[in-house]
Every structure is written in structure tokens, then in C-alpha cells.
Amino acid sequence: MSQNVICCRSLVHTPKGDNMLNEARSILISRYEEIRGILFEMYPYVSPTKLGVTDREECSVFSVKDNAIVLNFPELNLRDVIEDEHQNLQTLLAQSQGPPAWLRELIHETIHAFEHRVICQSTTTEGKELFTQVQAARCGPIDAQHAGPFYSAVHHAASTLGIEPLQFIKNCL
Ligand SMILES: [Zn+2]
């Protein structure tokens, strides 16, 4: 099985202007730097994963080979990115209806980056426990690309973002 491209999300796309894409891309890069800074704070030696943003009608991916995340966003998501520009991260994460789709997708792919750059193929004790809980509660993605190593990275992300892990999975993944 190819571990190269992790393909997780697919959203409905409609045509849009380049200006919106460019504006959203620059905001998303700042958001990504902030989230990456939190998740990778203890791992300064890990070379940063690049972020690309397009409006292609494809699912967003993390590529192991390229060490790159590519977010492929429809117009609705790009608009929301721009609208949410001045909201702080913790406010967006704490929204009662859950964080916006663009943020969930960005976090999801950043977790895959952490999984492959730091956790590698291993599973931490916390990740194993969390994966068992997720299987029992059926509350998160479960397949070959979302197993022990992924949930080890999820546990780390939840802890560093200050959110209880199962709550984090229900709201953010
Ligand atoms: Zn995924």
C-alpha cells in the first residue's frame, strides 16, 4: 500500500476569482504557521512541511514524498478563511458548532504531517489508548491511514492545543 499520499477530504468546488484564492492562501499560511508552531514546538529539528493552497477540485492531501500539505479548497471555504481572519485560533476551536471546515481540514492534514515527520510508524501508549476509545465510540476516521500512529499524533495535537482528546476528535477531525 502506498504511504505517499494521504487523501482525506473532498469538498464541492465552484469557480472563483484568483484574488480570493491569493488572499485566502496568505491567511492560511499564517494560520498554518501558528498551528505548526504549537504542534512542533518540541521538535525544532524537524524540517518544516510546506503548505500549498489551490482551488482544484481534488481532496486535500499530505504528501510524504514531497513533505507538503496541499489544501484544495472550494469557494465556500476560501470565503470563510477570509471572513475568519481576525478571529483567534482558540475562539475558532471553541465554537459551539465546532471549528469551521477550513480549520478542521488544516488541522487534520497538519496532524498527518506530525504523524509522518515525528511519530513515524510507531504508536505511543496514549495513541493506542485513544485509538481503542475511538473505535469503541465510533467518533473519528478509522482506516489504514487513520490508525495507531495517526491517533498518537492526534493525542499530541489535542494536548498541545489544550483540548480533551475525544472532544477534539468529535469537534475537529
Ligand atoms: Zn486523514
- Per-residue pLDDT reduced to its tens digit, 130-143: 999 999 998 888 99
pLDDT of 12: 56
pLDDT of 9: 60
Nearest of 139, 164, 59, 144 to residue 105 by alpha carbon: 59
Calculate how far, in angstroms, residue 24's C-alpha sits from the geometric centre of ligand 1: 22
Calculate how far, in angstroms, residue 39's C-alpha sits from the geometric centre of ligand 1: 16
Calculate how far, in angstroms, residue 165's C-alpha sits from the geometric centre of ligand 1: 16
Calculate how far, in angstroms, residue 17's C-alpha sits from the geometric centre of ligand 1: 28
pLDDT of 2: 41
- Per-residue pLDDT reduced to its tens digit, 3-53: 456 656 656 555 556 799 999 999 999 999 999 999 999 999 999 999 999
Calculate how far, in angstroms, residue 118's C-alpha sits from the geometric centre of ligand 1: 16
Tally of structural domains, the chain = 1
Calculate how far, in angstroms, residue 11's C-alpha sits from the geometric centre of ligand 1: 14
What does the alpha-carbon distance between residue 84 and residue 109 come to, in Å, rounded to a whole number? 19
Calculate how far, in angstroms, residue 145's C-alpha sits from the geometric centre of ligand 1: 6
pLDDT of 23: 96
pLDDT of 18: 77
Query: Residue 79's domain spans which residues?
Result: 5-172
Distance from the first to the final alpha carbon of the chain: 23
Is the pLDDT at 112 greater than 70? The verdict is yes
Calculate how far, in angstroms, residue 146's C-alpha sits from the geometric centre of ligand 1: 6
Calculate how far, in angstroms, residue 137's C-alpha sits from the geometric centre of ligand 1: 18
- Per-residue pLDDT reduced to its tens digit, 66-111: 999 999 999 999 999 999 999 999 999 999 889 999 999 999 999 9
